[in-house]
Amino acid sequence: MTPDWNRLLSASSYRYSMGLRRVGPASFWSPWDPAGRLLRERERWLQASPSLFRACLDGHDNSRYEALAWMQRFATRPEPDWLVLQGSAGEEPRLVAGEVVFPSSWSLPAKLGLPMSAIHQPVPGLEESLGAGIAAFLQKLQPGVCFGRENWGLSADDALNHHPAFKGPGPGPQATLETTWVRLEHQFLTRLEKSGAILFGIRVSCHRLDAVTRDQDVRRGMHRALMTMHDSLASYKGLLSCRPALLTQLAEPAQAQPMMIKQDQGRHHQGSGDGGPTARPSQK
């Protein structure tokens, strides 16, 4: 699936946005990687460190099993990460189960049992900007209705697994468009019929920044987003040190390099390809 970069990186100033749109479940949960490399990498991580990537609160096995059965209508072994959120009527839903092998700098076991507002609390300004809207959306979400959205960041590598225990250093002051990757989260939400729990899916794809910004409108959009991003959020995303260098390069016209498109597309959805758990550096 090719991202709509013009939609994701418009020329407006950076701001939080829910950006929800109706989607079909098959477009998210059906396999994206027919070669199976994504599932092989997923299984290697799960076999090496299952307690880091899979968790369920006591008393919520039924919701977990319902979520698995729902996903398996589209793929026997789902490629995306997934979370189950559940709460009583009038309560904020809490994270009760999931399998998150390719997180973006967070840990599933550390977040287990927390409500959505607490999960979002470390992100500067997010709860203040979107907290009420997120709560209202989740409360109204109905079974059989599916929504999607995207969230992006920048990375110094194309590895899918950015768990805090394994993540390497982010882009630094010498970052270039050729050595920086857009880390794009494709997100999915629906409500399960029997338990009433919310199923939240996450797919990560990585895209070379020079290839993404070859389109001049997208290039301007990325420049504007980085330039207007509040320092507190840029710090949280690990972008403060690389931002000046990237802004300088993005201000220059894109150079036509047709061969780079193939390299970028080859990394979509596979991250580090067949690299397994031993292929990642330890957190420094």
Mean pLDDT per 10-residue run, the chain (284 residues)? Answer: 91 90 98 97 98 98 98 98 92 97 97 95 94 94 98 97 93 98 98 98 98 97 97 96 98 68 38 36 34
> Does some domain include residue 191?
yes
* CB-count exposure of residue 215 (10 Å: 0-12, 13-18, 19+): middle
Taking a C-beta distance cutoff of 8 angstroms, is the pair 21, 75 a contact?
no
Taking a C-beta distance cutoff of 8 angstroms, is the pair 114, 145 a contact?
no
> Does some domain include residue 77?
yes
For 252-277, the pLDDT digits (tens) are: 998 765 433 333 333 444 333 333 33
Q: What is the pLDDT of residue 257?
A: 55
Domain total of the chain? 1
For 169-225, the pLDDT digits (tens) are: 999 999 999 999 999 999 999 999 999 999 999 999 999 999 999 999 999 999 999
> Does some domain include residue 280?
no
> Does some domain include residue 5?
no
Domain that holds residue 210: 19-270
Residue with tokens 């076991």: 109
Q: What is the pLDDT of residue 168?
A: 87
Collapsing DSSP to helix, strand or coil, 249 comes out as helix
> Does some domain include residue 40?
yes
Beta bridge partners of 190: 199
> Does some domain include residue 10?
no
